[in-house]
Structure 1
């Protein structure tokens, strides 16, 4: 079977990737893809390499990468508009943090309107045509679309018309209301509430969790000394109000190291500003986790009572002690207390930090057990086995 994975990257990551290698934007398509995968950011080539290991032909397309798109078009004789230099892309006007906090609960309702007025990410006409040409060239039997925003329902129907491949969508938030998802044969999500929302509109849907790629451990530099007491890697925004409150409570008492984005959305009085260490991507993120005695996790507010974000598996897979927010289904992923620790309230989080920073043997034992669980159960190989079972 021929499997094609569609994905999209954060613009800030793309700027970082291309600025660190000045000639990359003009390089061959294969060279750019190799550099993208070597960063180890996000899912990199973890789905495609595991589909290939299972005996399939697999490839990736990063749909919102204008420099890769231009390279592919150039190498295949297609017309294309020369993309701007990395870092010079037109930036959307930022929405003030106070307004973001006000509209956060209404995002599922507002998304269709945002798309109509150009505030939601989407591909332009030329980018769509090049993507469709890439898909036609590869001739997939199965397409796994991991970005249902850039590759929206309308574009998904066009993809479905190219040889009628099995079309799977993967999404971690409740879908926009009023969208026509009928082009998809299957929608997968790490959250049951998202799965149930798709089933509620007549779309077949199943739970498939996120994962960790064990080969990361072989591709990382040597592990650094654990010189960081407490770290957190991730965004702080209007969509993470519980996270911000918890991190601020930690920052008032401990030397928290915060890596990520969104600090501009917080008031100047927030103690998180003095904790900020900048953004880390891929390899740098894993090294920051490995340098931490304890790393914190907190889900996006929209996750509700369910656990399933990427940090659960990235932190444990890297061998770091994980203190995460308690969720009703967390026990189905890890044994709480022996593979990860979980907090219920900000005060509870502080108590657990005291306990585990003061007991190295217990902390290390839990970190080792958490890593063993992830490497045995929460791998991309296991996830593609699930996907293939659902497809068959």
Structure 2
């Protein structure tokens, strides 16, 4: 099958990516895309590069990546986009030229039913992915299938016009591990992620953990994105480090003995990418207790879980008191991720979903 996946990346990440690679935009589209994918931003979601091994002709487009989209346009005799909106609009022409059997949209808010309707020929199967807030006015009537690990999002997808839904989860890009520096924890607790108005519970728990660090109970570092420094509580701001994207995210995750996970407010507690990113990097994952967690990692054996009402600093201290047990649990968690949640395993799962709904 011909499968086309379209993603959007954080604008903050794309700016930083090109800031440290000032001459990349002079290279070919294929070279630029290879470099971008090599940095591993959102790699657990990017299934297209792993489908060729299963006999499919698959390509990936980053819709709002102005540099790459501009180079693609020039190489194909088109006027290059000058901004993100024009880069995204170019996707219609890219889909028309590739003419996929399957179209998989990772950002069905930006690329919704209107985008699908603008295509010259509708692909045989149109899929989307969503596991975050769904804005009012969203229209998914052009979608055959919406993927999500969140049952609330799946229910809402049908209400917004999607014909069907299916359970699916991102995987862990195990190929990145040899590229990372050896694991040598610098702090006891690390958190790598965003804080926005949709993360109120996360912010409250991070503040509690930060206060524990201030009291000398353990050391901690938070790599926080999508915020202005002035909106952070002082205890968090004092241990905040620059955001980490792409390969740097995985390296930062390996810098802690314990990797903390706190979900976005609107979803359940066994769903986000950080679960596999943390455990897959060999860092002990400490995440919210949830009935679904056992389908990914065994609580108490491969992952440490906490209750929302629990004293989180006290839980962290208890884990750190048994360093041998902590590292053994982390090792078992990593082994489980590499065995059951690799990108190869996710490619097989994605293929089964596509075949079932084609």
**Could you say which residue in structure 2 is the equivalent of 1:333?**
296
Q: Distance in 2 between matches of 1:299 and 1:45?
A: 17
In the TM superposition, residue 153 of structure 1 has moved relative to its aligned partner by: 1.9
The 5 A counterparts of 1:172-321 are 172-173=131-132, 175-200=134-159, 203-218=163-178, 220-254=179-213, 255-264=219-228, 267=231, 269-303=233-267, 305-321=268-284
- Residues 237 and 262, structure 1, Cα contact 8 Å, conserved in 2: yes
In the TM superposition, residue 137 of structure 1 has moved relative to its aligned partner by: 2.0
**Could you say which residue in structure 2 is the equivalent of 1:47?**
47
The partner residue of 1:384 within 323, 347, 351 is 347
- Residues 64 and 150, structure 1, Cα contact 8 Å, conserved in 2: no
1:157 equivalenced with 2:117 (yes/no): yes
Cα deviation, 1:310-342, whole Å, max 9, x if unaligned, reads: 000101111110101222322222111111111
- Structure 1-normalised TM-score? 0.84
C-alpha distance 43-33 of structure 1, shift in aligned 2 (>3 A): same
In the TM superposition, residue 267 of structure 1 has moved relative to its aligned partner by: 4.4
Q: Distance in 1 between matches of 2:50 and 2:156?
A: 29
Q: Distance in 2 between matches of 1:61 and 1:342?
A: 37
- Structure 2-normalised TM-score? 0.91
The alignment partner of 1:187 has SS state of: strand
**Could you say which residue in structure 2 is the equivalent of 1:135?**
95
**Could you say which residue in structure 2 is the equivalent of 1:62?**
62
Q: Distance in 2 between matches of 1:46 and 1:61?
A: 10
Q: Name which of structure 1's ranges 56-65 and 24-33 shifts more when overlaid on structure 2.
A: 24-33
Cα deviation, 1:145-197, whole Å, max 9, x if unaligned, reads: 001122122112223x4253311111112534454322111110121111122
* Cα RMSD after superposing both structures: 2.0
The 5 A counterparts of 1:23-34 are 23-34=23-34
Q: Distance in 1 between matches of 2:122 and 2:309?
A: 52
The alignment partner of 2:58 has SS state of: strand
The alignment partner of 1:338 has SS state of: coil
1:168 equivalenced with 2:168 (yes/no): no
5+ residue gaps, structure 2, are 214-218
Q: Distance in 2 between matches of 1:268 and 1:386?
A: 40
The partner residue of 1:373 within 313, 320, 336 is 336
C-alpha distance 310-137 of structure 1, shift in aligned 2 (>3 A): same
The alignment partner of 2:30 has SS state of: helix
Q: Distance in 2 between matches of 1:342 and 1:45?
A: 24
Q: Distance in 2 between matches of 1:243 and 1:30?
A: 39
C-alpha distance 69-152 of structure 1, shift in aligned 2 (>3 A): same
- Residues 3 and 142, structure 1, Cα contact 8 Å, conserved in 2: yes
C-alpha distance 266-44 of structure 1, shift in aligned 2 (>3 A): same
The alignment partner of 1:167 has SS state of: strand
Q: Give the number of aligned pairs.
A: 349
- Residues 172 and 277, structure 2, Cα contact 8 Å, conserved in 1: yes
**Could you say which residue in structure 1 is the equivalent of 2:216?**
none
In the TM superposition, residue 268 of structure 1 has moved relative to its aligned partner by: 6.1
The alignment partner of 1:381 has SS state of: helix
**Could you say which residue in structure 2 is the equivalent of 1:146?**
106
- Residues 26 and 67, structure 1, Cα contact 8 Å, conserved in 2: no
User: Structure 1 residue runs of 4+, over 4 Å off?
Assistant: 265-269
In the TM superposition, residue 306 of structure 1 has moved relative to its aligned partner by: 3.8
Q: Distance in 2 between matches of 1:360 and 1:290?
A: 16
The alignment partner of 1:223 has SS state of: coil
Cα deviation, 1:94-150, whole Å, max 9, x if unaligned, reads: xxxxxxxxxxxxxxxxxxxxxxxxxxxxx63x4355212211222211111001122
